[in-house]
Amino acid sequence: MFNKQRLHKLTLVTQFYNILVRILSGSFFIIVLAFFQEPDLSNILIFLGIFLALSLLLFVVETVKYFRTYYWIEGNRLVLQTGLFIQKEKDIQISRIQSIDTSEDIVHRLLKVTKITVNTPGQGLILDALSVSQYKALSDYLNQLKISLNKRTEDEFPEDKLAVDDNSEVIRSEAEDAPAETTLLQLSVGEIVKMTILNGAIFRGFFIFLIGFNFLTDLPLDDLFTEVGSVFISASIIILLASIFIGMILIYTIGIIASIIKNYGYKVTLSGEHLNIKKGLLETQSQTVPLKNVQTLEEKQNWLMKFFGYTTFSLGLTSDSSQKNNENKTEIKEDGQVVLFPIVKSEKLNPLVKQCFPEFVLSPVENVVPVRSIRRFIQFPVLFWLIIAAAISIMFWVYAWIAGLILILFYGFYGYRSYKLTGYHLCENEITVQTPTLFALTKTYVPKNRILNLQVKQNLFLKRANLMKTNFSTAHGIASKEFKLKYIEEKDAFKIFEWFRNGGIN
């Protein structure tokens, strides 16, 4: 069934679409500049000629590559052969496949084909495009063959004697035992809108808009401070405030529409040892997350989410390969973080997590930062911004001290939050760490067998105050991620150290 064969013929159409998109996006600024110039028929014809010639050349290249591209299964390997002048083979071991992900842009969906990415710890293969039936047959076959391979030792099932056709009975028996699929979360359009409003991203976009608006319109900020009494009677101020308000509404609207397009039909399912995330309106994406790759669980709440009783839940994953691949569109960040539940009711989170990770305890934390540590959280940032604000006020802008004062107040408040909310909790095989930022609170659950190293630190000043710092790291992405607890009591730091070193707690 999976002898040497080509991709679907409609690959030529999808590649031609990609060519047009790349050329048009690269020529965007030229087109915009030409639009504001007086139309010149000769220039337009020259541009169209270059565009058509370049498109034709690239299409010929992609056509030649299509007819020289094959994929097949050989023993324990999925092989992809491709190349323009020199054909090169790239293969992956089927027994090491971690996930088989799909993505479909608007053209793929219209043509009813899909792009698949087969991921392994070391590398991956991308096949664009296959029909839905081709993808289903290949995906099922690879998954079932992987199970059958992993259940046998080399003595029982030598790789050099493995042939695809000899495993039909084994694969059929494995297919009968395939795990059922359970839906964990499915977001409606209303929930996506709620998620977009509550996650705070639009607020950051609004501040960027406000700064840009300032530079573009040369806002009379000095007048705002010197003529406060005339704010409500000045037509220019009213127009300014109205423009800001309209801009905020536009940013909210664009942000919500973009979020709906990206996350439409967001669905998380559990099947055996894998989680699957599927979403997208114009471009649908299906991403598989192997449970065995999960290093940490993370719950994050900002102020708005906490007020309305919602939270965000994500996974920390490990991988031996970099995610920097323009064609591999997944939600895994470079640090290995992937959002599983972008918005979920707080009281519903633990039951959902227990379905996927029954071995996690998910204990609440105990706040451990003593009162005498407050100044240590704020003294250096406050001193830094005080010096910067004073220097700018003296040399450039007299009102810079106002921005400095605001930053000082922010860091003072952040120091207080750190004192109130930093904490941890130890179980026999798991540590829960809670760390605040200015606008959010992060709670991370880390199994002890995922911790790579753990340190406790103390300088002379901390020793006099009986305080310590502790930090540990776990594998995340292609590197590691560090977790810190700063300015905690000595006894708490040594308690964590002994827990890690001795393999348990008293």
Helix axis angle, 11-26 to 41-67, nearest 10°: 140
Q: Strand 294-302 vs strand 310-317: parallel, antiparallel, or unpaired?
A: antiparallel
pLDDT at 218: 47
pLDDT at 171: 45
CA distance 164 to 148: 12
The answer to whether the beta carbons of residues 119 and 98 sit under 8 Å apart is yes
Of the candidates 121, 221, 161, 139, the one whose C-alpha atom is nearest the C-alpha of residue 477 is 121
CA distance 230 to 115: 61
CA distance 432 to 73: 44
The answer to whether the beta carbons of residues 270 and 184 sit under 8 Å apart is yes
CA distance 438 to 341: 22
Instruction: Provide CB contacts within 8 A for 136, sequence distance 6+.
Output: none
pLDDT at 205: 55
pLDDT at 256: 86
pLDDT at 323: 43
Where are the domains positioned within the chain? 11-178, 189-263, 283-369+422-502, 371-419
**Number of Cβ atoms within 10 Å of the Cβ of 48:** 10
CA distance 261 to 449: 39
Of the candidates 267, 329, 315, 323, the one whose C-alpha atom is nearest the C-alpha of residue 105 is 329
- Amino acid making up residue 485: L
Helix axis angle, 189-198 to 235-263, nearest 10°: 130
**Number of Cβ atoms within 10 Å of the Cβ of 321:** 16
For residue 468, what is the enclosing H or E element? strand 467-476
In 187-321 the beta strands, taken as DSSP E runs, fall at 267-271, 274-279, 284-290, 294-302, 310-317
pLDDT at 477: 73
CA distance 277 to 286: 6
**Number of Cβ atoms within 10 Å of the Cβ of 91:** 18
pLDDT in tens, the chain (506 residues): 467 888 888 888 888 888 888 777 766 666 665 655 666 667 667 777 877 888 888 888 888 888 988 898 888 888 898 888 888 888 888 888 878 888 888 888 888 889 998 887 767 788 888 888 888 888 888 877 877 776 654 445 444 444 444 444 444 544 455 567 889 999 999 999 999 888 866 555 555 555 554 444 444 444 444 544 454 445 666 776 777 778 778 877 888 888 899 999 999 999 888 899 999 888 888 888 888 889 999 999 998 899 999 999 999 987 654 444 445 555 555 567 899 999 999 999 999 999 999 999 998 998 888 988 888 888 887 888 888 888 888 888 777 778 788 888 888 888 888 889 999 999 989 999 999 988 899 999 999 999 999 999 999 989 999 999 999 999 887 778 899 999 999 999 999 999 998 755 54
Length of the chain: 506
- Indicate the pTM of the whole model: 0.77
In 336-381 the beta strands, taken as DSSP E runs, fall at 337-345, 366-367
**Number of Cβ atoms within 10 Å of the Cβ of 280:** 19
pLDDT at 179: 63
Torsion of CA 319, 320, 326, 327, to 10 degrees: -80
pLDDT at 29: 62
Q: Is the preceding peptide bond at 465 cis, omega within 30 degrees of 0?
A: no
**Number of Cβ atoms within 10 Å of the Cβ of 354:** 12
For residue 102, what is the enclosing H or E element? strand 99-104
pLDDT at 399: 74
pLDDT at 148: 75
